Amino acid sequence: MAKLGGSVITDKSKPFSYRPDVVSALSEEIASSDQKVVVVHGGGSFGHVVAKQHGIGTDAGEAPAVGVAQTRGAMYELNRMVCKTMLEFKLCPYPFSPYDAISRAGGASVSSWLKGLLKEGLTPVTFGDVGLAPSGFRVISGDVIVQELAKTLEPERVVFALDVDGVYEENTRVIIPELTAAKVRRMKVHEGDDATGGMRLKLDMAAKIAAGGTSAYFVSGYRRNEFSKALRGLDFYGTVVRS
């Protein structure tokens, strides 16, 4: 499974700025990896920008209907672009809404459905979304979706493609090559300023994924060779979170 970070596939400093060259490079590596991969992508300068404008966050609450519609529309637009790029590399993307899939079926059903798609040569692709909870609308982060799908599918590994090389030692640019789930939970990390919690949330989800028996790999989405190594479970430049 691979999570393509929104800050990698878009330029967060420019609203609605897609990076086709980056997605092309990552798609080519996925296609040549011989791995059956479920792909989740973030919202970047599409979903996050619109969600913040309308005050929609990860805590459920009141939200204007137009804000929900525009946020979801932005995510579908980004997903369309990602899938179009992936198709150029014969990945045969099968886009789906995570909220629709996960909230309407039991885990076993979702697992069977996704494994069926992979068996048929398709690449399931989903994304951060906006869902309706009893107390209102909320953003469902792509990182949370990755953790939920990992719990259901039990893949060998989950690869987070980031805009940094991995997890750094505090106040340095020194990469920590390996972390345990317990160590991650004790780390102090800034939450970030996007709509879904930034690196703190990624680490929290990675700890849960690792505790479930699946290793989580943090690697730069700009280093395609390192991304390829991580995808195949080889030694790479980045951080691995294990149980």
Cα–Cα distance between 130 and 39 in angstroms, integer? 18
Q: What is the CATH number of the domain that holds 58?
A: 3.40.1160.10
Contact indicator for 143, 3 with CB cutoff of 8 Å: yes
pLDDT at 119: 96
For 149-204, the pLDDT digits (tens) are: 999 899 999 999 999 999 999 888 899 999 999 999 888 776 554 544 578 899 99
List the domain range (segments joined by +) for residue 114.
Answer: 2-242
Q: How many helices (H) and strands (E) does the chain have?
A: 10, 10
User: How open is the CA angle 191-197-198, to the nearest 5 degrees?
Assistant: 75
Task: Give the model's pLDDT for residue 58.
Answer: 87
Handedness of CA 151, 152, 157, 159 (dihedral sign): negative
Domain tally, the chain: 1
- The predicted model scores a pTM of 0.92
Q: What are phi and psi of 127, to 5 degrees?
A: -160, 165
Q: Comparing C-alpha atoms, which of 66, 3, 77, 67 is closest to residue 195?
A: 67
Mean pLDDT score, 21-28: 98
